[in-house]
Amino acid sequence: MKWFAFLILILNLGVWYYAGALQAPATSEPGAAGSLPRVASLKNTERSSPSESSAPTVPVAEPPPASQGLSRAEGPEVGVNEVQDPAPPEPETAAAEPVTVPPVCVRMGLFESLEAAQALVANQPLAQEVGVTFEEVERELPPYHWVIIPPQPRSVALRQFRDIQRQGIDSYLVTEGENRNAISLGLFESRTAAISVLEEKKRQNFNAVLANFPRNQISYALVFEAEPELAEELVEAVKADYGSNFDFVEINPCEGVATPKKNP
C-alpha cells in the first residue's frame, strides 16, 4: 500500500514538471508600456526560469506618433524640425511717376483803354508771377444812325457844303470811304433822334437820307498762362478789383501743350 501511494506521488511530480516545461514563456506587454523590459527584470527571469531565457525576444515596433494618425481631410501636420520653403518675394512695384498738371491759357476782358488794363494788373502781385500781357481787340459795335446828303461830284459837294456852313448848320464834308463827297448833317446813337433831324432837314429842302455809320472799338484783354489753381485765383482777384462784369473770361487748355500720359 505504501508503494502504491509513493508511485502516485512520483507520477504527479512528473506531470507537474512536464506541464511547467511545456508552458509558453511569460513575456511583458511591450505594446502597452511602449518600452523594452529593464535589465534587472531580465536577470530575475534568467534565475527563476532557464527555459524562458532561452526563448528569443521579438522586438515590438513602437506605435506611430499621434501626428501621423491624422486623416487626409485634416492634412499632414508640419513637424517642429521640418524646414519650410520660404515664401516667394513680392514683386517690386515701380514708383509712381509724379503727375504734371498742364497749364491753362486765360484770356479776359475787355478794357476800354490800355492804361486801365495796366493799372489793374499793377495792383495784382500774382500777375507778376505769370507774366500777364495785353492783347488789342477790335470789336464791332452797333452802327450809329447817320443823316447825310448823298455823295455828289466833288465840285458840287464843295459848293453846297459852303452854303450850308454860311447858314450856321453844323455839318462836315466826308473825304473818304464809300460815302466820300457826302455831306454829314448829324450822327446819332438813337434812331429816334436821327429820324427827327432827318425830317427837319427835309423841311429845309435838303436832299438828306438816313444811313448806317459802322463803327469799331479798340479794346484790350489780359492774356496769361498759369497752372489751373493759380489761374483761377488770379482771375477771381482781377474780377474783384475791376468792380464790373467782364465781357468774357476764357480758361482753356493751352494749344500745343502735350497732356501727360496716364500710368497704367
Q: Hey, which of 45-59, 77-91, 208-222 has the most confident mean pLDDT?
A: 208-222
pLDDT at 264: 37
pLDDT at 246: 86
Q: Which amino acid is at 109?
A: G
131-174, pLDDT tens digit by residue?
899 999 988 888 999 999 999 999 999 999 999 999 999 999 99
Query: Which of these ranges, 70-74, 126-130, 224-228, has the smallest mean pLDDT?
Result: 70-74
CATH number among 3.10.450, 1.25.40, 3.30.70, 3.80.10, domain 142-214: 3.30.70
Residue extent(s) of CATH 3.30.70.120 domains in the chain: 104-139+218-253
pLDDT at 30: 46
Bigger pLDDT: 7 or 236?
Answer: 236
Q: Using CA atoms, how far apart are residues 122 and 114, in angstroms rounded to an integer?
A: 12
Q: Using CA atoms, how far apart are residues 198 and 42, in angstroms rounded to an integer?
A: 152
What is the percent of the chain where pLDDT is above 90? 34
pLDDT at 70: 44
Q: Using CA atoms, how far apart are residues 208 and 154, in angstroms rounded to an integer?
A: 17
CATH number among 3.40.50.720, 3.90.1150.10, 3.30.70.120, 3.40.50.300, domain 104-139+218-253: 3.30.70.120
pLDDT surpasses 60 at 48: no
Mean pLDDT of 170-199: 93
DSSP 170: -
Do residues 252 and 104 make contact, with C-beta atoms less than 8 angstroms apart?
yes
pLDDT surpasses 60 at 36: no
Query: Which of these ranges, 29-33, 207-211, 248-252, has the smallest mean pLDDT?
Result: 29-33
What is the percent of the chain where pLDDT is above 70? 61
Query: Which of these ranges, 33-42, 149-158, 201-210, 251-260, has the smallest mean pLDDT?
Result: 33-42
What 113-117 contacts at long range (C-beta under 8 Å, 24+ apart), as own/partner pairs, is: 113/220, 114/220, 116/220, 117/220, 117/221, 117/222
Q: Using CA atoms, how far apart are residues 180 and 211, in angstroms rounded to an integer?
A: 13
Summarize the chain as % helix, strand, coil (round to 5). Answer: 40, 20, 40
